[in-house]
Amino acid sequence: MFAQQLLNGLFLGAVYALFAVGYTLVFGVLDILNLAHAAIFTAAAFAAFSLAAAGLPLPLAFLGAAVAGGILGVVLDRVAFAPLRARNAGTLAPLISSIGFAIIVGALLRGKYGVDEKHFATGGLDTAPAIHLGAVTFTTVELAIFAAAIAMMLGLSWVLRATTLGRRIRAVAEDRVAAALLGVNLERTIAATFFIASALGGAAGILTGLEYNSVTLDMGSPIELKGLAIIVLGGMGSVTGAVIGGFVIGAVETLAIANGLSEWRDAITFGVMFLILVARPNGLFGKRALRQA
Amino acid sequence: MNRITVPALALCAVAALVAPSGAASKGPAAGKTVHVGVISDVTGGAGVYGTPQKNAYELANDDVKSGKIDAGGANLSFDVQDAASDGAQVVNLMQKFITDGSTAIVLGPTLSGEAKQAFPLAARASFPVMGTSTTAEGVTAIGPTVYRDALAESQVIPTTVRRTHDRWHYKTAAIIFGDDNAFTKTDGDLFARELKAAGVDVVDSETFHQKDTDFQPALTRIESKHPDVIAIGALFPEATKIILQAGKLGIKAKMFGGNGLNSPDMYGVAGPAAQGIVVGAAWYSGAKYPSNVDFVKRYTAKYGKGPDQFAAQSYAAAQVVAYLVAHGATTKDEMTSALKNVRVIQTVLGPIGFDTNRDVKSSPVILSIVKDGFTYFH
């Protein structure tokens, strides 16, 4: 049972981590909380559903919808953040405008898709072959989801570390004014950041939709608060911290249930987080990690 | 009592055949205008339950106009207001309907928790209200004007446990239920009580929260205790995921649940994994009496999807109100006293009445999920 629970925790943590890296990336660069991240998570899952329903093979539907999520992120920046940034509106106004954007996206999705849960015709848990390996059982879908999440997080790490775009993103995160003076195109770099962050958040939504074969209007609400918790735990703005935070939360949740404490799950999860924050008030990896990535 | 369900339905079918239907009669309320307030969660988290309710009232509005529902020639309309799954909005809407001077009765809200917030207002104002999906314990005890046409879980779960136990002779059980929703929490408590009363050893009890998607840790733990059966206290969005994930983990225990599992999504979404699962419920979509067959057919034609129990119980409430209007109740006071004197009204749920606690008097149906629907569990 322990091996199966460990695996359950890993699968859960991978999606949490993928959601959280996008969340924390925007914070690391702009010092703002993007509370529309969960709406993009949901919108991308619906986009994948539509593309798959239109006959696209699942991997292509996944890619297309992740790109759609990225584009929606760029729109989000132009609509909700850029005008306020231009007026030096501080950090609270963008928080509210991102909530507004999320509500509008939610209303549009409801208008288009209705309130019923949507399901992928193929590729869900119900059709995927189960693999029994010793004491553990998992499906090819879960394995693919786990691999995709890990690959995307490694990819992001590589982009930030080794590409010109990554260097620009880190420069803007470090000091926006200095970066601009040195010739970095601020708005384009911020747009690229939103694209990457939202494509990853969208990918997390699509993978969640696939994993449970369920796409719903409110699928983002449980992960919204957890995502925030994860990035605080990992250290605001730290990509590595978000990944580790995601796995920690996934593991703590799973282990709480595995030990017969399901009704205490959230209390335990947030209790553990509180203890970690008492020991390390800036989270596991502090705030400067993205800048030093 | 449930054993006479099938003959009772047959009787009901005969009754419905001999009863006049179709053209609206002219009753004491003929020509009068009667407003019915409806509070439903059309949007927000509970939108998936409130939308079928809204659909049912829209169909009822059409049917009153066409005379398919007989309101005695009164100009009866159901005014559906969206509470957006927000308790504060439920309370506001209830306040509005109670004080607007023109509403004769309020139907809804959607969730038991919301009812517990809003019904006390109605009770204090001696205003008649009827829940159509608020099945948690204690809802009708809120006040003497609070009714419900939804069979309470306390009326459904005991029969479900008894029938499955009689048939399967299980000795151990696990329970999985939502502990943050009045309805599913009631399920969990009732399963624990009834299983114990049946001499069954409850070897594990797991909880979850609304909108959870990952049930594998809880199911892995349940499987480690090897229960003969698993009792599910959930609404269908969570129930389908529990069943699918149990299937994936290779869990072979038989499963059963209550009203929350009475949805086309159970077989439509959970597919083969759901087959054989037993569902105790207030309504059977495949029941053959004429008003139900007609309701299911027209609802499906209008909305492109079959009705679920939320829709059926709302439509039945509309039929109850229309019956009272046809017999002369057009104001809130007339409605209150008419409700006290209801004997039996024919609805899509079958013939229903109300007991002294103002709970609906009807029998649960025990169903079993098959490939493309439900069938009676024998």
Residue range B149-164, pLDDT digits in tens? 999 888 899 999 999 9
Ramachandran region of residue A238, left (φ > 0), alpha (ψ -120 to 50) or beta?
beta
d(CA A38, CA B317): 38
Tokens at A111, concatenated: 């208008």
- Interchain CB distance below 8 Å, A8 and B217: yes
d(CA B164, CA B185): 21
Tokens at B363, concatenated: 């029998």
Q: Where is B347: in which H helix or E strand?
A: strand B345-347
DSSP B181-192: SHHHHHHHHHHH
CA atoms within 13 A on the CB side of B195: 26
What pLDDT is recorded for position A292? 54
d(CA A205, CA A69): 9
CATH superfamily of B154-281: Response regulator (3.40.50.2300)
DSSP A11-51: HHHHHHHHHHHHHHHHHHHHS---TTHHHHHHHHHHHHHHH
- pLDDT-based confidence at B13, cuts 50/70/90? very low
- A266-280, B55-69, B118-132, B295-309, range with the lowest pLDDT: A266-280
Q: What is the mean pLDDT of residues B173-178?
A: 97
- Interchain CB distance below 8 Å, A217 and B247: no
Interface predicted TM-score of the whole assembly (ipTM), two decimals = 0.78
B215 touches A at CB < 8 Å: no
- pLDDT-based confidence at B12, cuts 50/70/90? very low
The total of other beta-carbon atoms located within 10 Å of residue B258's CB is 34
- pLDDT-based confidence at B221, cuts 50/70/90? very high
What pLDDT is recorded for position A287? 56
Residue A5 to residues A118, A222, B218, B222, B247: CA-CA distances in angstroms? 28, 21, 9, 12, 16
Q: What is the mean pLDDT of residues B334-339?
A: 96
Same fold across B2-9+32-151+288-363 and B154-281: yes
Q: Is 90 exceeded by the pLDDT of residue B267?
A: no
Chain A: residue nearest B47 by CA? A115
Enumerate the β-bridge partners of residue B172.
B201
What pLDDT is recorded for position A285? 85
Q: What is the mean pLDDT of residues B237-242?
A: 93
B-facing residues of A in 75-114 (CB < 8 A) are: 110, 114
Smallest Cβ distance to A115: which of B47, B245, B249? Answer: B47
B220 touches A at CB < 8 Å: yes
The order of strands in the sheet holding B360-361 is B345-347, B350-354, B360-361
- pLDDT-based confidence at B295, cuts 50/70/90? very high
d(CA A145, CA A125): 12
What pLDDT is recorded for position A290? 56
What pLDDT is recorded for position A203? 95
Domains (ranges, CATH) in chain A? 2-292 (1.10.3470)
Q: Tell me how long chain B is.
A: 378
* Cβ–Cβ < 8 Å for A140, A129: yes
| Domains in chain B: boundaries | 2-9+32-151+288-363, 154-281
Q: Is 80 exceeded by the pLDDT of residue B18?
A: no
- Interchain CB distance below 8 Å, A258 and B217: yes
Tokens at A189, concatenated: 């770099």
Higher pLDDT, B126 or B26: B126
Partners of B86 on chain A (C-beta within 8 Å) are none
- Interchain CB distance below 8 Å, B218 and A130: no
Partners of B48 on chain A (C-beta within 8 Å) are 115-117, 216
Give the residue ranges of chain A where pLDDT is below 70. Answer: 122-128, 287-293
Q: Is 60 exceeded by the pLDDT of residue B2?
A: no
Question: Which one of B207, B213, B236 would you mutate to disrupt binding with A, by most A Cβ within 10 Å of its Cβ?
Answer: B213
d(CA A277, CA B6): 61
Q: Is 80 exceeded by the pLDDT of residue B22?
A: no
- pLDDT-based confidence at B16, cuts 50/70/90? very low
User: A49 CB contacts (<8 Å, ≥6 apart)?
Assistant: A118, A119, A120, A209, A215
What pLDDT is recorded for position A164? 94
Arithmetic mean of pLDDT over chain B: 90
Q: pLDDT (tens digit, 9 = 90+) per residue, B102-138? A: 999 999 999 988 999 999 999 999 999 999 999 888 8
CATH of domain B2-9+32-151+288-363: 3.40.50.2300
d(CA B316, CA A137): 45
Q: What is the mean pLDDT of residues B357-371?
A: 93
d(CA B241, CA A126): 10
* Cβ–Cβ < 8 Å for B311, B55: yes
Tokens at A113, concatenated: 């898709």
Q: State the DSSP code for A81.
A: I
- pLDDT-based confidence at B353, cuts 50/70/90? very high
DSSP A251-281: HHHHHHHHTT-GGGHHHHHHHHHHHHHHH-T
* Cβ–Cβ < 8 Å for B74, B33: yes
The order of strands in the sheet holding B33-40 is B75-82, B33-40, B103-107, B129-131, B146-148
Tokens at B43, concatenated: 């949007």
What pLDDT is recorded for position A134? 83
